[in-house]
């Protein structure tokens, strides 16, 4: 401990910066595991109700707006690329490119949310809503409203995570703009990027389950 | 062995209790020891509240008819009792208090990996507890702590605040577990390999894994109930195609592993206590270490034993029943190792050791009735009777409470630097163990006779056993009050304990009592395993008993 030059980023209880970064990464991965388990409840509910109402889920999923969903998939996957590039430049200490790429990522997130808003609006107008709010006359029968319960719960929770992710990235971009990161220390950028990748990854499962199959 | 130099400079430097002063220095502290002490105050308050409601329940059950409350009030009381004891005491108690205080000390670390997150958990606990208790009292929640649908989504009483409170408490629990896992991975002092970690740390590691992996499932499930109740999305509503049994599966996927969140920390404490007071190294260190992980692992695959009578297939019930018995095997591995550790030990019968004996008895009795309950044909008879109530109180209150008290008495001198009255503490330990038996053994008998749980009245022929149970509960309550009284007295005027009054070889005892604000002046280098008594007792023994 005494032999190393003390870093401004090193907390008193860690022996060195490597250990501290290792701890931060491990903590983030564990946190991501808890996030996945949060969604697992809804994936389980999806599996159970799809098994109980295969026909109704099949019909109801045709009401989903595939073109907007597909566009959103492309948008999110691209945003994963931009955030990965952002991490790359943060590690090289390139402040300008880091901030720029994080801003682009946030913009992609905003595009995703706007498109999602249009989808929600269409479903709202058509009465394709969860549980007791369902009043769409074009498709009725047991299990149809359950599709929309699951749809809104899953995409709603995911949308909330997109918003949180945008907030996290905005905060990190702000810190990057203030010059807090360098070649030596860029862990928060990496952790924020991990979170964003998770948000992207969950959508990659949601899109086929809710729109395609 | 050089855990920390015992020079005068270290012993004379300010300890964590006195170093920074003022209320602000406590409320915003990042020190794991102060956070542990705050948890102690909070969980003891929660326990007192939950115990108060338990005594009201026992008072009501003194006579067959209405005694002091009506049926609805009774339902609210057992909900308050259950929610408070489970979410506010059993789950956070040992990890929050002793895990926070001793895990870093046992690893030769200055703090947990994320001290700010650690402080955050205290406030999550405070906020979650306030919302939950206020919500239950204000809204008259009457569902019991299990919140079973469809009753919970159709009851006229308010439910959402307690669900939100439990969600927030769950976040705190997850973050505590996450913090411990990362701490154990990254902050072990040089020389503490995995096979040199104290067994307390091993069991806390297993506990933390369950906290991290199971709690998010409960959180989401409770949110779904709140959404269902508030907005009628139909996810658990049969009228809209929902499946109430799905709730039971999701709920128990967390809540059964949660039982091991409550009992593994108890086993963690016991492994330390038995080695110290038998002056022996653990008979089978690896067996005890890995059986903790075994319990954590198997614990995830037994939830279906709560659904034997919920329309689950006979095959599934059989599989869940057999899997549940595996828990008994891992537990037995521990029990045999603890008892083998006693063999030829230099046993010192102090208060923590008495609680260890109580723990062993309650764990074996409660565990064996658990194996009986996991047998489907027997469970169908006992389902929802007082037999089940007595069984889980034997484990959760009997075993876990014994371990909590053992930990409190074992580590009190380390935490506060003072001794308590050995005479009074022995008397209280006998009262608690006796009172506990008198409370719950009659309930085993009542359950076997068919008395169902969660009713405020019962037929005349059950009265004598119920009177015995209520009498036992009063003795138990008196015992707890006694503990509180002499510990408070000890805090202010107890004899100064010195660094190691028990002559323990646990790493944490090689610090001053109370420990310094910064645990170790410099990172210690460990050259021995935990509790190596073949080298003779610790050099720092100041006085024995």
Chain A CB contacts of B114 below 8 Å: 23, 27
Residue of B nearest to A38 (CA): B216
Q: What's the gap in Å between the CA of B32 and the closest CA on chain A? A: 11
Distance between alpha carbon A30 and the CA centroid of its chain, in Å?
16
Residue of A nearest to B219 (CA): A38
CATH class of the domain whose range is A45-212:
mainly alpha
Chain A CB contacts of B109 below 8 Å: 13
Q: How far is CA B92 from CA B106, B263, B280, B490, in A?
A: 19, 11, 30, 25
CB contact under 8 A, B227 and A38: no
Q: What is the pLDDT of residue B341?
A: 96
Contact A75, A203 (CB under 8 A): no
CB contact under 8 A, A131 and B115: no
Chain B CB contacts of A150 below 8 Å: 235
Which of A36, A39, A41 should one mutate to test binding to chain B, selecting the residue with the greatest count of B CBs within 10 A?
A41
Chain B CB contacts of A31 below 8 Å: 178
In chain A, where are the structural domains located? 45-212
Q: What's the gap in Å between the CA of B218 and the closest CA on chain A? A: 8
CB contact under 8 A, A153 and B234: no
Profile chain A (213 residues) by mean pLDDT over runs of 10 residues. Answer: 59 90 96 97 97 95 96 97 97 95 98 97 95 91 93 97 98 95 93 97 97 92
Which among B112, B115, B182 has CB closest to A26?
A: B182
- C-alpha–C-alpha distance, residues B406 and B429, integer Å: 10
Residues of B with CB under 8 A from a CB of A: 109-115, 174, 178-179, 181-183, 185-187, 212-217, 219-221, 224, 227, 231-235, 237, 240-243, 246, 249-250, 518, 522-523
CB contact under 8 A, B250 and A143: no
CB contact under 8 A, B250 and A19: no
Which of A45, A55, A140 should one mutate to test binding to chain B, selecting the residue with the greatest count of B CBs within 10 A?
A45
Which of A1, A16, A21, A23 should one mutate to test binding to chain B, selecting the residue with the greatest count of B CBs within 10 A?
A23
CB contact under 8 A, A41 and B250: yes
Q: What's the gap in Å between the CA of A23 and the closest CA on chain B? A: 6
The residue with tokens 């569902």 is B143
Q: How far is CA B213 from CA B219, B306, B478, in A?
A: 11, 20, 38
pTM of this structure: 0.94
Chain B CB contacts of A14 below 8 Å: 186-187
Domain B8-535 in CATH 1.10.3720.10: no
Tokens for B225, please give them: 């109930």
CB contact under 8 A, B233 and A131: yes
B75: how many CB neighbours lie within 10 A of its CB? Answer: 21
Tokens for B320, please give them: 């869940």
DSSP string, chain A: -TTSPPPTT--TT-SSHHHHHHHHHHHHHHHHHHHHHHHHHHHHHHHHHHHH-HHHHHHHHTTS-HHHHHHHHHHHHHHHHHHHHHHHHHHTT-HHHHHHHHHHHHHHHHHHHHHHHHHHHHHHHHT--SGGG---SSS-STTHHHHHHHHHHHHHHHHHHHHHHHHHHHHHHHHHHTT---SS--HHHHHHHHHHHHHHHHHHHHHIIIII-
Chain A CB contacts of B227 below 8 Å: 153
- C-alpha–C-alpha distance, residues A52 and A45, integer Å: 10
Long-range CB pairs of A156-162 (<8 Å, 24+ gap) are A157/A38, A157/A39, A157/A42, A158/A39, A158/A199, A158/A202, A158/A203, A158/A206, A159/A113, A159/A116, A161/A35, A161/A198, A161/A199, A161/A202, A162/A109, A162/A112, A162/A113, A162/A199
How many A/B residue pairs have CB atoms within 8 Å? Answer: 119
Residues whose CB is less than 8 angstroms from the CB of residue B189 and which lie 6 or more positions away in sequence, other chains included: B107, B108, B109, B523, B524, B525, B526
Query: Half-sphere exposure of residue B442, counting CA atoms within 13 Å on the CB side?
Result: 20
- C-alpha–C-alpha distance, residues B317 and B214, integer Å: 21
CB contact under 8 A, B241 and A49: yes
Q: What is the pLDDT of residue B14?
A: 82
Q: Is B496 in a helix, a strand, or coil?
A: strand
Q: What are the residue ranges in chain B where pLDDT is below 70?
A: 1-13, 535-545
In chain B, where are the structural domains located? 8-535
Chain A CB contacts of B230 below 8 Å: none
Residues of A with CB under 8 A from a CB of B: 1, 11-15, 19, 22-23, 26-27, 30-31, 33-35, 37-42, 44-45, 48-49, 52-53, 130-133, 142-143, 145-146, 149-150, 152-153
């Amino acid at each position: 401990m005494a032999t190393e030059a003390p870093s401004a980023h090193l907390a008193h209880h860690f022996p060195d910066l490597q250990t501290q970064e290792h701890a931060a990464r491990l903590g983030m991965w564990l946190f991501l595991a808890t996030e996945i388990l949060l969604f697992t409840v809804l994936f389980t509910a999806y599996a159970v109700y799809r098994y109980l109402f295969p026909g109704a889920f099949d019909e109801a999923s045709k009401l989903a707006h595939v073109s907007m969903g597909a566009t959103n998939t492309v948008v999110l996957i691209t945003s994963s690329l931009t955030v990965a590039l952002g991490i790359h430049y943060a590690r090289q200490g390139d402040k300008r490119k880091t901030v720029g790429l994080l801003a682009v990522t946030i913009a992609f997130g905003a595009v995703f949310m706007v498109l999602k808003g249009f989808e929600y609006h269409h479903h709202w107008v058509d009465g394709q809503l969860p549980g007791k709010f369902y009043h769409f006359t074009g498709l009725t029968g047991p299990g149809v409203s359950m599709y929309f319960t699951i749809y809104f719960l899953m995409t709603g929770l995911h949308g909330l995570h997109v918003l949180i992710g945008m907030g996290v990235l905005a905060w990190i971009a702000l810190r990057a703009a203030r010059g807090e990161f360098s070649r030596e220390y860029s862990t928060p950028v990496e952790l924020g990027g991990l979170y964003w990748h998770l948000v992207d990854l969950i959508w990659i499962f949601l899109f086929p389950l809710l729109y395609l199959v | 062995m050089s855990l920390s130099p015992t020079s005068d400079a270290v012993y004379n430097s300010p300890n964590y209790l006195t170093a920074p002063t003022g209320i602000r220095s406590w409320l915003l502290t990042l020190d794991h020891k102060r956070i542990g002490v705050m948890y102690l105050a909070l969980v003891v308050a929660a326990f007192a509240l939950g115990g108060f409601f338990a005594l009201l329940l026992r008072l009501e059950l003194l006579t067959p008819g209405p005694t002091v409350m009506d049926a609805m009030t009774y339902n609210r009381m057992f909900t308050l009792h259950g929610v408070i004891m489970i979410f506010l005491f059993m789950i956070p108690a040992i990890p929050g208090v002793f895990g926070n205080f001793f895990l870093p000390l046992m690893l030769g670390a200055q703090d947990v990996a994320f001290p700010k997150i650690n402080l955050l958990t205290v406030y999550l606990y405070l906020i979650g507890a306030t919302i939950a208790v206020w919500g239950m009292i204000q809204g008259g929640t009457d569902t019991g702590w299990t919140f079973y649908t469809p009753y919970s989504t159709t009851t006229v009483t308010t439910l959402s605040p307690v669900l939100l409170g439990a969600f927030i408490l769950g976040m705190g629990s997850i973050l505590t577990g996450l913090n411990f896992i990362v701490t154990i991975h990254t902050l072990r002092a040089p020389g503490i390999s995995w096979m040199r970690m104290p067994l307390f740390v091993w069991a806390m590691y297993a506990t933390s894994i369950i906290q991290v992996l199971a709690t998010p499932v409960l959180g989401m499930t409770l949110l779904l109930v709140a959404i269902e109740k508030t907005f009628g999305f139909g996810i658990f509503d049969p009228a809209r195609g929902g499946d109430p049994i799905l709730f039971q599966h999701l709920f128990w996927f967390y809540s059964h592993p949660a039982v091991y969140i409550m009992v593994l920390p108890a086993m963690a404490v016991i492994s330390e206590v038995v080695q110290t007071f038998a002056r022996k190294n653990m008979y089978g260190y690896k067996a005890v270490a890995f059986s903790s992980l075994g319990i954590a692992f198997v614990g995830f695959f037994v939830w279906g034993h709560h659904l034997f009578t919920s329309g689950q297939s006979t095959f599934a019930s059989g599989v869940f029943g057999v899997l549940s018995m595996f828990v008994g095997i891992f537990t037995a591995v521990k029990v045999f190792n603890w008892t083998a550790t006693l063999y030829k030990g230099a046993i010192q019968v102090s208060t923590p050791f008495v609680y260890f004996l109580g723990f062993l008895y309650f764990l074996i009795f409660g565990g064996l009735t658990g194996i009986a309950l996991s047998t489907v044909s027997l469970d169908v008879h006992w389902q929802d009777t007082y037999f089940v109530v007595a069984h889980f109180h034997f484990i959760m209150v009997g075993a876990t409470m014994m371990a909590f008290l053992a930990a409190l008495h074992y580590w009190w001198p380390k935490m506060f630097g003072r001794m308590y009255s050995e005479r009074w503490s022995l008397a209280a330990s006998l009262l608690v163990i006796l009172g506990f038996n008198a409370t719950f053994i009659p309930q085993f008998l009542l359950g076997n006779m068919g008395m169902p749980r969660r009713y405020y009245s019962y037929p005349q022929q059950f009265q004598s056993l119920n009177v015995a149970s209520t009498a036992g509960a009063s003795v138990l309550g008196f015992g707890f009050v006694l503990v509180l009284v002499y510990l408070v007295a000890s805090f202010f005027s107890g004899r100064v304990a010195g660094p190691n009054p028990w002559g323990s070889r646990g790493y944490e005892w090689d610090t001053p009592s109370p420990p310094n604000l910064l645990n170790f002046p410099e990172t210690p280098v460990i050259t021995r395993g935990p509790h190596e008594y073949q080298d003779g007792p610790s050099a720092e023994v100041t006085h024995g008993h």
